[in-house]
Chain A
Amino acid sequence: MTNTSAAPAAHSFADVTSSNESLRRFLHGLPGVDQVGAEARAASLGTRSIKTTAKAYALDLAIRMVDLTTLEGADTPGKVRALANKAMRPDPADPSCPQTAAVCVYPDMVGVAKETLGDSGVHVAAVATAFPSGRAALDIKLADTRDAIEAGADEIDMVIDRGAFLAGRYLDVYDEIVAIREACDATNPGAHLKVIFETGELQTYDNVRRASWLAMMAGGHFIKTSTGKVQPAATLPVTLVMLEAVRDFREATGQMVGVKPAGGIRTAKDAIKYLVMVNEVAGPDWLDPDWFRFGASSLLNELLMQRTKMTTGRYSGPDYFTLD
């Protein structure tokens, strides 16, 4: 697990983060990403053929990596309780089916989720910091974060200030991540911080690589592609660039950072493509729910249907899986 003391990663980059200028020089000095090459590499990994035992392994691993998510204005305690039950027992017909990593909700639903999940081991993740736009003052974002942690959230999914990032105010983005991380640590030192880039708004792979390094230096435990509210959300090439970044960050610092693609991953086949990429780009150490997550909702039933097909040899219909 990641060292959970306050922002340990920041120390080795003290010079880099001493001013916006030095931070900009560092981020713009990272090797560029060639768009055509990165997309070709992602597509080529997508042609791996994962069958039989490998497929069974991948499906169970993918289920264990799901952050089962509901982020709607219409969320109610009843909806969240149903989701939490689904996370604990994804396939009521098969007790050997693993539970998901977490449920992901808005801060006001954390209490309900926590109460339902109890000591099941399924974490509660809360989106915070004026999700999804991130357009609020820092003290409001901090209050949002503390509120979620105090209600029992184990994980905080924060959004970066994309406006500041695109305007080149990297240090503002960095300082905000550090502040949110400190707020998490102050209330619950075990809480994990995921940093959402909204890559659909950052647009270029160079920006994704820069945002990845910025968030890792600021002490994020996970880097996450998207809120799910902007298209495109997670894509294979974006995740490729982020996996390269966490791999390189570990080489530079010895520290592992997790990766979470979120939004738009709907089929078991797609999920397996991501796992192949994790395996071959970041390495097998990342094939663990502590280091890789899927932010998804409908994906879970697709994984369950494929899993049932593996055990029974037959496809069953969506009516045989719970809609929560």
Chain B
Amino acid sequence: MNQTPPVTVVVVDDHAIFRTGLKADLDADRIQVLGEAADVDSAIAAIRQHRPAVVLLDVHLPGGRGGGGAEVAAACHDLAPEVRFLAISVSDAAEDVVGVIRAGARGYLTKTASGAEVSDAVQRVAAGDAVFSPRLAGFVLDAFGTAAVAVQDDELDLLSERELEVMRLIARGYTYKEAAKQLFISVRTVETHVSHVLRKLQLSNRHELSRWAGERGLL
């Protein structure tokens, strides 16, 4: 494990106590923190300066035009795929989560996730995969609906049968590995499905999606 170089990270969060706690929690063998920032403008500057592999991005940030984490992700679009974003938030509100994912984040974690979980997620995002928490999977299922199924894989407004199954397992708390075992497919295939779902979430202009996220307060 030690021969792979650590993943470089910039931590963006307006809450200084949380930044300190997170940096202390991250697995130092696997993750190297290059810098940190507390608001939209300094975050964009820090990301452009350090060019980390992954940005740990809080959803709610002061500064800029008031767009928070989504604004940072959108402003750094040109750095993709070199720089990837992992949203991390204490907010469970659908509009926040879906908003930052649609702005380009590759995954979403709640702040209660342990240091090891965050480190795993950072590595996964750095490798180009998507990270779905059970909560995010629940949002996706709720937003796209579980009744209708996409016939063709490239249909953006519906999930395919397999994608539905994978999302359900993740919502139930299964890891990718467990989900793969359950469905008799490889972990790689699970990752592909999750990435497809992420892409649909980002690209679909299914009109219900934004309306749904706005209406949905929180669970």
A and B bind? no
* B binding-site residues for A, Cβ under 8 Å: none
